Amino acid sequence: MKHRFRLAAAATLLLACGGVAAAQTLPDYMAPISGKSTAAPADIATKDVLALNTGMFELYGDAAKVFQKNILDKHPVILGLFSGAGGRLILYRPGQPPLDAPQVPIVYQLLKSVGHSTMALAEVVGPYLDNPDNKSWRGSMMAYRSRMQSALESLDSTPMQADWRDNNRSILQNNLAFMDECIAGGVIPFARLEAFGKKQAPFLAKNVAWAAQTQVAHWMGVLADWKTQLGPDWEKTYAASNTIYVARQNNVIFSVLAQFFGPDAINSRLLLIETVSFTTTPADMLESLTRIIADRSVGSLFFGNYHLMDYELMGGDARAAIIAETAKRGMTPFLPPLVPFGSKQWPTLITPGSGPATIADLK
């Protein structure tokens, strides 16, 4: 096997050396794979220049490992990670192992699980509304009904206060009644689903509120304790929370962190990092945080502004280009207002307007 690899490598090398091959007569056995290759000077030049950008990322990756160590050696760092258990907070302290905070009380997950069970029913029946000829939903619903019945029967043994348990019992009972109606009728009329949704909404709203209260109270307690432990080092602590599109507005963990870091830390030491999934790893979060902090030093070095690199470098010039191009086409440019580098505004939607903004507003 080693000889085969060596022969393949030798053949590749021979074919790559076009100048040498051209000066010699190749044996017949090389004919199937040989040939004179050409490359336009412009193509070679383009590849040479583009290789600089590829090499930059390789160099950045090597340097980032050193930058991350230097940051963690000098600054405490808090990572606030989204999770189905109500989040995960990790405290990194110079010279000490990472400290994982206690999890949110399990009742948080119980409230969400019951609430999600109702939402799941809408997913099960959604593709089959008003379609009596398609019964493919029945198997999934009957299997889920069994789980729903088990949850209802064991609800009294869960660690949940009495009034919350009563609310969740109503949700589960309503779920079962809806499922039984659908199974018995063999069809799912939209009117039935709509009535079910309206019936469950008040109970679901209570679960949402109680889950939020449980989550916030827990993380407020954790951060209050960590701030006391860190003492003066709190003022040089970095924190970052992850978010995807649906969770960026009123992000719970970021909003709780902001209460302890204060307005001046937002977008400076307190960062909201956008991701493409609900969950991400601590390593990925640290890598992203390191890149942001390191890029700031580069921006200050070249342009004299520490927060310049927090923004798309071409964004300002692209903005001017958009204004110029829309003018050529008789269009009115539609752009957000300019904000200064180092803005302390919330990294979420902050412009007030009309319309509901909370579940309570929907009533």
Residue 41 lies in a domain: no
Residue 12 lies in a domain: no
Together in a domain, 358 and 241: yes
Question: Residue 29: what pLDDT?
Answer: 86
State which residues form the domain around 199: 107-211
Together in a domain, 353 and 243: yes
Together in a domain, 96 and 241: yes
Of the three residues 211, 245, 270, the one that is the final residue of a domain is 211
Residue 300 lies in a domain: yes
Together in a domain, 168 and 76: no
| Count of structural domains within the chain | 2
Residue 51 lies in a domain: no
Together in a domain, 139 and 125: yes
CB neighbours of residue 322 within 10 Å: 14
Question: Residue 322: what pLDDT?
Answer: 95
Together in a domain, 76 and 122: no
Together in a domain, 243 and 356: yes
Together in a domain, 276 and 297: yes
Together in a domain, 246 and 353: yes
- φ, ψ at 77 (rounded to 5°): -135, 135
Question: Residue 81: what pLDDT?
Answer: 96
- The tokens for 229 are 């432990």
Residue 54 lies in a domain: no
Of the three residues 160, 195, 211, the one that is the final residue of a domain is 211
Q: What is the pTM of this model?
A: 0.85
Torsion sign across C-alpha atoms 175, 177, 178, 183: positive
Together in a domain, 241 and 358: yes
Question: Residue 77: what pLDDT?
Answer: 98
Question: Residue 232: what pLDDT?
Answer: 97
Together in a domain, 126 and 190: yes
Question: Residue 151: what pLDDT?
Answer: 97
* pLDDT tens-place values along the chain, 363 residues long: 444 444 444 445 544 554 444 456 888 888 888 877 778 889 899 999 999 888 888 888 888 889 999 999 999 999 999 999 999 999 999 999 999 999 999 999 999 999 999 999 988 888 889 998 888 889 999 999 999 999 999 999 999 999 999 999 999 999 999 999 999 998 899 999 999 999 999 999 999 999 999 999 999 999 999 999 999 999 999 999 999 988 888 999 999 999 999 999 999 999 999 998 888 999 999 999 999 999 999 999 999 999 999 988 888 899 999 999 999 999 999 999 899 999 999 998 888 888 998 888 887
Together in a domain, 253 and 337: yes
Residue 220 lies in a domain: no
Residue 38 lies in a domain: no
Residue 76 lies in a domain: yes
Taking the C-alpha atoms of residue 206 and residue 217, their distance in angstroms, rounded to an integer, is: 17
Question: Residue 313: what pLDDT?
Answer: 86
Three-state SS string over the chain comes to CHHHHHHHHHHHHHHHCHHHHHCCCCCHHHCCCCCCCCCCHHHHHHHHHHHHHHHHHHHHHHHHHHHHHHHHHHCCEEEEECCCCCCEEEEECCCCCCEECCCCCCHHHHHHHHHHHHHHHHHHHHHHECCCCCCCCHHHHHHHHHHHHHHHHHHHHCCCCHHHHHHHHHHHHHHHHHHHHHHHHCCECHHHHHHHHHHHHHHHHHHHHHHHHHHHHHHHHHHHHHHHHHHHHHHHCEEEEEECHHHCCCCHHHHHHHHHHCHHHECCCEEEEECCCCCCCHHHHHHHHHHHHHHHHHHHHHHCCCCHHHCCCCHHHHHHHHHHHHHHCCCCCCCCCCCCCCCCCCCCCCCCCCCCCCCHHHC
